[in-house]
Amino acid sequence: MIEGELRELPIGRRVAQWRIRRRLTQQMLADRLGKSKSWVDKVERGIRTLDRYSVIQDLGRVLRVDPVLLLGRPEPPTVTPAADGVEEVRAALARYDSAPAVRPAPTAAELDRQVAHAWLAYQHAHYPQLLRTLPALLDTVRPVRAEPAGEVYRVTAAVLVKLGAAELAWLAADRAMTMAAGDPLRAAVAAIPLGAALRALGRGRLALAATVAAADALPGTELWSPSGAELSVRGTLLVEGAFAAANCGDRSRAEELLDRAALLAEWRRLPAEHRGAYLVDVARAFLLVGDVPAAGRTLVELDRTAPDELRSRPFAGTVLAAVLRGGAVPAEVLRLAQRLPSIR
């Protein structure tokens, strides 16, 4: 069963599926929770309701899964423009033929402009617009063995992670890493979406190793780098590594990496996509500690900062749905939810 299907199950069935994935018996899970085997059995069969978020947090800790995944997500629209776009990108990534191009190949300058436009769309969180341009770009750079092919694979991986297509994002990120072989800066840049894809797939240890290794391979340190590019990339990798460490339950490692990254950060200068991704993680953190109003206010700020991040990214909608189920919700959060058909 794929993770997307698992999220559509009742919460008790999701608990059972994650328990089986972790190779735990009902008795083993009960012992680690301080509950009885009967309690676990009733939860999994839907007889006992999980109506306390603290209990769901305990289950998430024992099962090594984000409690938000146990809560599930709202039923998405049957077909969305973003979903259509992902399938077109999937088809483009799967094409290996060298059939003659229908249109003349763009010049190097034209291709550079197209790639720059793709990144601009991503940085402003205009994901549907970006998805419309990627298939043609992927077809164009398929025969190319250097830049800008790596750039195209990298932006492809980045947006696919946002839209919940993590396995496809891993493929695109792997191609970007291959293109970057021998160049520490390009490899570090490609490791950013690679780490995000691995985290989304639940491979936190691999994500931590990949991102920290790429950051440490860059010249210089947190206090000095040859250029602003190295500083920016190093900081992003350290934050990505901190998220991976947190996903693995390694709090001290996460704090260490965040402290290193803090030396490099200047929040308001970041692109909308970076700020939007950060706000999603902040909202989830508030939710995990039970501060539902703060999580809601963070999502409202997200809507102001990068609205497409909330509307197009499935995980952001999952966090909003969890906030709505979490008790007293500020009026501005309710108004936000009413504007999003997939949440209603």
What average pLDDT does the segment 221-226 reach?
51
End-to-end CA distance of the chain: 26
Note the CATH number of domain 81-269: 1.25.40.10
Question: What's the pLDDT band for 6 if we cut at 50, 70, 90?
Answer: very low
- Where does the pLDDT of residue 268 fall: very low under 50, low under 70, confident under 90, or very high at 90 and above? low
Which residues in the chain are classed under CATH 1.25.40.10? Answer: 81-269
**For residue 201, pLDDT beyond 70:** yes
Other beta carbons within 10 Å of 207? 26
Alpha helices in the chain (DSSP H): 3-7, 11-21, 26-33, 37-44, 53-63, 67-71, 81-94, 108-123, 127-141, 149-162, 166-179, 184-200, 204-217, 228-247, 251-262, 272-288, 292-305, 307-312, 314-324, 331-338
CA distance 239 to 196: 11
Decide if pLDDT at 225 tops 70: no
The Cα–Cα gap between 25 and 45 comes to: 15
Residue 206 has pLDDT above 70, yes or no: yes
Which pLDDT belongs to residue 100?
47
* Whole-number Å distance between alpha carbons of 71 and 55: 12
Rounded to 5 degrees, what are φ and ψ at 20?
-65, -40
- Looking at domain 3-71, which CATH architecture does it have? Orthogonal Bundle (1.10)
User: What per-residue confidence (pLDDT) applies to 107?
Assistant: 77
pLDDT tens for residues 33-46?
889 999 999 998 88
Residue 152's pLDDT is 93
- Range(s) of the chain covered by CATH 1.10.260.40: 3-71
260: alpha, beta or left? (left if phi > 0; alpha if psi -120 to 50): alpha
Tell which residue, 327, 324, 329, has the closest CA to residue 340: 324
- Token pair for 82: 């973003």
Highest mean pLDDT among 71-75, 156-160, 286-290: 156-160
What's the chain's average pLDDT?
80
> Mind listing the pLDDT tens digit for each residue in 301-316?
888 888 877 777 777 7
- By the 8 A CB rule, do 17 and 43 touch? no
- pLDDT tens, position by position, 180-195: 888 888 999 999 999 9
**pLDDT tens per residue across span 100-121:** 455 667 777 888 888 899 989 8
Angstrom distance (rounded) from CA 190 to CA 269 = 21
Q: Is the pLDDT of residue 2 over 50?
A: no
Binned at pLDDT 50, 70 and 90, residue 278 comes out as confident
Residue 238 vs residue 324, higher pLDDT = 238
pLDDT, residue 197, reads: 92
Q: Find the range with the poorest average confidence among 80-89, 99-108, 253-262, 274-283.
A: 99-108
Average pLDDT over residues 62-79: 65
